[in-house]
């Protein structure tokens, strides 16, 4: 399978998993589901971006636009021919960005539900798309630092 195909496949898989998990959570999941002493599944509507930033502003359409422009730019980069790790990073980021953009478009906010906590401290709730975006950005950063001279094989 080509590097481009890996990127497109990961994008589709992340998008599908993200939307399926949110559909289940919104319709059927208990309000709070205690998984472990440090991990719960909870339903939280995020009207902003990471860590709830911009939540007090009506930035819905701006955030949708930024997500779509970023996804388009990353997919254009993918189409030029990139290494497999870069293609996978692009797929993770675009799948997550498009999943969260669709939430904002359809629902007016992003459904977040993973809740990590310890000793009274809570990490802000997040979802599959957020996780994929973080993993994709980390992969893109690592690839750019470790493989500067690596030529793309398409």
In a domain, 33, yes or no: no
Query: Are the C-beta atoms of 1 and 154 separated by less than 8 Å?
Result: no
Q: Mind listing the pLDDT tens digit of every residue in the chain (154 residues)? A: 999 999 999 999 999 999 999 998 888 766 777 888 899 998 888 886 665 555 555 777 888 999 999 999 999 999 998 999 999 999 999 999 999 999 999 999 999 999 999 988 888 889 999 999 999 999 999 998 887 655 554 4
Bridge partners of residue 118, in order along the sequence: 121
Query: Are the C-beta atoms of 40 and 121 separated by less than 8 Å?
Result: no
User: Which of 18, 103, 115, 130 is the catalytic position?
Assistant: 130
> How many domains does the chain contain in total?
1
112 an active-site residue? yes
In a domain, 64, yes or no: yes
User: Which of 18, 103, 112, 115 is the catalytic position?
Assistant: 112
In a domain, 153, yes or no: no
130 an active-site residue? yes
In a domain, 76, yes or no: yes
In a domain, 1, yes or no: no
What are the structure tokens assigned to 14, written together? 């992340």
What are the structure tokens assigned to 99, written together? 């999943």
What's the domain range around 109? Answer: 6-20+60-113+123-148
- Structure confidence by residue, pLDDT tens digits, 113-135: 999 999 888 888 899 999 999 99
In a domain, 136, yes or no: yes
How far is Cα 153 from Cα 68, in angstroms, rounded to an integer? Answer: 27
- Structure confidence by residue, pLDDT tens digits, 102-115: 999 999 999 999 99
In a domain, 39, yes or no: no
In a domain, 30, yes or no: no
């Amino acid at each position: 399978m080509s590097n481009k195909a890996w990127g497109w496949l990961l994008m589709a898989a992340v998008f599908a998993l993200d939307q399926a998990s949110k559909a289940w959570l919104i319709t059927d999941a208990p309000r709070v589901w205690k998984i472990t002493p440090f991990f719960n599944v909870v339903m939280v509507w995020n009207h902003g971006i990471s860590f709830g930033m911009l939540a007090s502003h009506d930035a819905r359409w701006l955030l949708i636009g930024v997500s779509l422009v970023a996804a388009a730019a990353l997919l254009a980069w993918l189409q030029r021919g990139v290494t497999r790790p870069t293609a996978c990073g692009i797929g993770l980021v675009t799948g997550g960005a498009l999943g969260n953009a669709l939430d904002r478009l359809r629902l007016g906010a992003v459904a977040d539900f993973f809740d990590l906590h310890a000793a009274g401290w809570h990490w802000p709730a997040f979802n599959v798309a957020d996780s994929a975006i973080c993993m994709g950005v980390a992969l893109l950063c690592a690839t750019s630092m470790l493989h500067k001279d690596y030529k793309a094989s398409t």
